[in-house]
Structure 1
Amino acid sequence: MRFASVTSRLAGLGADKWALHHEARRRAGAGQSIIELTIGEPDTPPPQAVIDAAIDGLHRRRTKYSGGRGDAGVIEALARKYARRSGRPIGPGNIAYLPGTQTALYAVMRTLAEAGDEVLVGDPLYATYEGVIRASGATPVFVPLDPAHGFHMRAADLEAGITPRSRVLLLNTPHNPTGATLSYEEIGEIAAVCARHDLWIVSDEVYETMAYAGSFASPFDHPLGAERTAVVSSISKSHMLPGLRAGWCAGPVELIDRLLPLSEMMLFGAQPFIMDAAAVAVEGDFAECHAMVETFRRRAKVLPDRLGNTPGLACPMPEGGMFAMVDVSGTGLTGEAFAWRLLEEERVAVMPGSSFGEQAGGHVRVSLSADEAVLHEAAERMVRLAIRLTHGRAA
């Protein structure tokens, strides 16, 4: 039987990257006590007002079809959000509502890239990025993000990867998996390169509210990036509601107009009661959201503090997001081997860095979505394994 070529392009780029996570869940289901630090799922309570808005929408029978762009309430709320943030006029024509950042990312990439094109993306990269690029028919070009420079994308490295086939830069700040958070100056340098080479920028900003080392910066808000940037984001992280699947794209009017027919062929609208909740979320200022950011800011210090003097391990302070990257190469193992040994011997589940690209092959990614006591215990177990490994090498 014949299948579309996209199925071959995506082979191995989906659930296969999460094999250790699924094995940890299997073991936990079989009764093992596992510390699970694999996925970026906020564990702090979401704003009650947003939950109430969704419930109220259901009570008001807000369950019928909606428009392909999204209902006016959420579209106008998002337009106001980006007008406030960018300091320039942003209207409903600049916004399309989609169910979650991942859906928005897929729709935007399909709108901007196709077979024969190249999409530049940093390495390490979020686990779905390569698949999203290849699904469009385009080829990913990996821009190395050097640990020696805090995994920050540098304009010179980006420019070195550009060819006549380059069409898009896929950017993520604060960055998953590394936590690297680009400054306004760095964003400007990157946007200048993209302007010189007429590249679109797709900016994944799902961790916008979780920049710890300084203020958040976006190419959408920069004069050099404003007319060539498509923002994708959601309330999954900012409002601790990943299962609600409430996201969007903000960008130039022509981009949104061209994206909408594709979005309508995929979904033809989203759930009105969830859009009601999303509108409340992006318009509001909630104590729960501020508390979540401060909670993760505290948690971000745990692994760097505990692992700082451990032979074979190194963990810089995350600059943003909800993950810590631990360099385990000093133990003599790859990140993949260390993660499996950690699960087998210490019953701690973390993600191998190789799930996020070659540059992270000597690392593991640790989700901070557990309280500080659990993170301290996980760090102690990592230390125990590292000591065994390094002592074995010394012997």
Structure 2
Amino acid sequence: MRYASITSRLADLGSGKWSLHIRARQLKASGANVIELTIGEPDLPPDRALLDECQRAMDTGRYRYSNGRGEPAVLAALAEKYRRRRADVTKENVLCFPGTQTALFAVMLGLAEAGDGVVVGDPLYATYEGVIRATGAHPVFVPLRPSSGFRMRAEDLESVVTPECRVLLLNTPHNPTGAVLTAAEIAAIGKVARRHDLWIVCDEVYEELVFGGTFASPFDNPDLAERTVVVSSISKSHAAPGFRSGWAVGPAEFTRRLLPVSETMLFGQQPFIADMTAYALTHDIDTARQMREAYSRRAGLIVDSLACAAGVKVLRPEAGMFALIDVSDTGLSGEAFAWTLLEEEGVAAMPGSSFGRQAEGFLRVSLTVPDQDIDEACRRIAATAERCLRRKERCA
């Protein structure tokens, strides 16, 4: 039987990247003592008021068909949120989707096609390559270097852009590194995008989880307004990943053109979830502050706990739910170290290779577990690194 080419393009870009996480879940289900540091699933529940609003909406019949763009209340709330960042935003600039991932898929489908290049930093979130290749386009990687704090540099971007490039996919704050672009860095990147007539798609799902300093976005730069699309959701900001409530915000012509694509895929968000999202965006919910404090503290715990451990170096994140640990001095790749850590110590951490070539010598560890689990995981990571170093010395 014949299959569409998309099934081949995405064959190795789905759950295969999460094979260690899947194995860890299997071990936990069988009763093994596994500390799970693999995925960015908030350890706080959503605020009770959000759950009450969702229930209220269902109780009053808000479970019928929606429309393709989004429910009026959530469109108004999103327009107001982004109007605080740029005065010209209206509901015509907004499209609602079930989560950031769906928004990103639809946006990329509307901007890139076969033969096009989509420029993206390496390391990158694990689904980005699949989202790009699903359109028939191909990724063009910009190395994000540890020496530059894993921030994209305008000169590195300039060096990889080719005539077929159509889109620049940014992520700030960045997953997996926790790097946050400054306004000056974005302005320099934007000049390159303007020179090569690139769309800028910016994934800002960690916007409210910056530990210190100021969040900056190409969306807020008037010189980039005509070419910038933001995707985001309440998954991280409000600890509500399972509700799948996201959006895209961009030029009015862009949303008008993308609307039929969205309607063909989805035709609307669940009204009761839209009502909960509107409530989240228009009320003072404390969840993001609690998570910022917890994740920043836990990042500090990892830095302190592994400061004297041989063979590992922690890169302290500036935002988000993750920290990177450089394990290259142990003589193992991040992939090999991650599997050794799981098999010998029962700690599940994502291999850096799941996020690109530039992260191959790293582990990505989640900050979304209790402090005592962070401490214990660090003890086990240090023990694994020490054993690996001894094995390396014996083989030298």
What's the TM-score bracket when you normalise by the shorter of the two chains? over 0.9
2:68 maps to what in 1?
Answer: 68
Matched, 1:353 2:352: yes
Contact kept, 8 Å, 2:201 with 2:229, in 1: the verdict is yes
2:146 maps to what in 1?
Answer: 147
> What secondary structure does 2:254 align onto?
helix
Runs of 5+ consecutive residues of structure 1 not aligned to the other structure:
none
Q: In structure 2, how many angstroms separate the alpha carbons of the residues matched to 1:210 and 1:195? A: 29
2:135 maps to what in 1?
Answer: 136
Equivalent residue runs for 1:1-395 within 5 Å: 1-86=1-86, 88-395=87-394
**How far is 1:154 from its partner?**
0.4
> What secondary structure does 2:230 align onto?
strand
Q: In structure 1, how many angstroms separate the alpha carbons of the residues matched to 2:205 and 2:342? A: 29
Deviations 1:304-327 (A, max 9, x none): 111122111000211110000000
**How far is 1:393 from its partner?**
2.4
> What secondary structure does 1:141 align onto?
strand
Contact kept, 8 Å, 1:47 with 1:289, in 2: the verdict is no
- Counterpart amino acid of 2:49? A
Contact kept, 8 Å, 1:33 with 1:347, in 2: the verdict is yes
- Counterpart amino acid of 1:119? V
Contact kept, 8 Å, 2:209 with 2:291, in 1: the verdict is no
Q: Percent identity?
A: 58
Q: In structure 1, how many angstroms separate the alpha carbons of the residues matched to 2:184 and 2:47? A: 33
Deviations 1:181-203 (A, max 9, x none): 11111111111110111100000
Contact kept, 8 Å, 2:338 with 2:350, in 1: the verdict is yes
- Computed over aligned residues only, the root mean square deviation of the Cα atoms, in angstroms, reads 0.9
Deviations 1:31-73 (A, max 9, x none): 1110001000001122222111111100001000011001110
Contact kept, 8 Å, 1:124 with 1:145, in 2: the verdict is yes
> What secondary structure does 1:134 align onto?
helix
> What secondary structure does 2:67 align onto?
coil
Q: In structure 1, how many angstroms separate the alpha carbons of the residues matched to 2:353 and 2:194? A: 32
- Counterpart amino acid of 1:217? A
- Counterpart amino acid of 1:12? D
> What secondary structure does 1:325 align onto?
strand
- Counterpart amino acid of 1:77? A
> What secondary structure does 1:301 align onto?
helix
Contact kept, 8 Å, 2:211 with 2:296, in 1: the verdict is yes
- Of stretches 349-358 and 278-287 in structure 1, the one that deviates more from structure 2 is 278-287
> What secondary structure does 1:300 align onto?
helix
Q: In structure 1, how many angstroms separate the alpha carbons of the residues matched to 2:202 and 2:267? A: 24
Deviations 1:125-161 (A, max 9, x none): 0000000000011010011000111111000001111
Deviations 1:322-380 (A, max 9, x none): 00000000000000000000000000000000000000000010011101111010000
Q: In structure 1, how many angstroms separate the alpha carbons of the residues matched to 2:55 and 2:194? A: 45
- Counterpart amino acid of 1:291? Q
- Counterpart amino acid of 2:374? L
> What secondary structure does 2:208 align onto?
coil
- Counterpart amino acid of 1:285? D
Runs of 5+ consecutive residues of structure 2 not aligned to the other structure:
none
Contact kept, 8 Å, 1:220 with 1:227, in 2: the verdict is no
Contact kept, 8 Å, 1:46 with 1:289, in 2: the verdict is no
> What secondary structure does 2:156 align onto?
helix
Q: In structure 2, how many angstroms separate the alpha carbons of the residues matched to 1:336 and 1:224? A: 42
Q: In structure 2, how many angstroms separate the alpha carbons of the residues matched to 1:175 and 1:302? A: 20
Q: In structure 2, how many angstroms separate the alpha carbons of the residues matched to 1:326 and 1:152? A: 17
Q: In structure 2, how many angstroms separate the alpha carbons of the residues matched to 1:198 and 1:266? A: 28
Which contiguous aligned blocks of 4+ residues in structure 1 show a shift greater than 4 angstroms?
A: none
Q: In structure 2, how many angstroms separate the alpha carbons of the residues matched to 1:56 and 1:89? A: 33
- Of stretches 153-162 and 289-298 in structure 1, the one that deviates more from structure 2 is 289-298
- Counterpart amino acid of 1:75? L
**How far is 1:296 from its partner?**
1.2
Q: In structure 1, how many angstroms separate the alpha carbons of the residues matched to 2:223 and 2:36? A: 42
